[in-house]
Amino acid sequence: MRITSTGAAARAAYYDRNPTEITALGFSGAATAPHGATTRGTYTVPSGRKAQVMWTSKDLIRSAVAAPVGAAGFRNILGFASGTGALTLTNNVVGDRSHGESGMGQTFVAGKVVSMQTFDLSTGGTIDYDGLTDILEFDA
């Protein structure tokens, strides 16, 4: 007996289609003064490619006491207007910290944008920020 396929040829899995790991979407800022929402880095999926956000990691550390304290945050914006993966810090003691990381597994088509954003609504003091988003880019 002969078995044949009537459909299209099998397509390689995304991780076998000319993959490129993108780890350049990151931000480190020591003793950063209070500020409104500020974009710290962006990545745009190039034409003819797709990308998958593999994981993201973010840290906030209070490096100087605020007077008065306001919420500080670090978030990723993944392909649309709302922020996801938001991490906040509301304590006001030097050394207070907030850490978050997660595996995303979200796939984006050409033209979509992934960005990192920070904010600190205090009127004084400083925050140390450290974050990285790991992205796997591959042929569409």
Could you tell me how far CA 119 lies from the centroid of its own chain?
15
User: Which residues form the domain of 108?
Assistant: 18-139
- Residue 5 located in a structural domain: no
pTM (2 decimals)? 0.82
- Residue 10 located in a structural domain: no
- Give the residue-averaged pLDDT of 15-34: 88
For the stretch 36-58, pLDDT in tens is 999 999 999 999 999 998 888 99
Q: How many domains does the chain have?
A: 1
CATH number for the domain harbouring residue 133: 2.60.120
In the predicted structure, residue 12 carries a pLDDT above the cut 90: no
In whole numbers, what is the pLDDT of the chain averaged over residues? 87
- As given in the structure block, the two tokens for residue 36 are 């409104």
Grouping H, G, I as helix, E, B as strand and the rest as coil, residue 56 is strand
What is the pLDDT at residue 116? 92
What is the pLDDT at residue 17? 87
Residues near 55 by beta carbon (within 8 Å), at least 6 away in sequence: 101, 102, 103, 104, 133, 134
In the predicted structure, residue 84 carries a pLDDT above the cut 70: no
- What single-letter DSSP state applies at residue 101? E
- Residue 88 located in a structural domain: yes
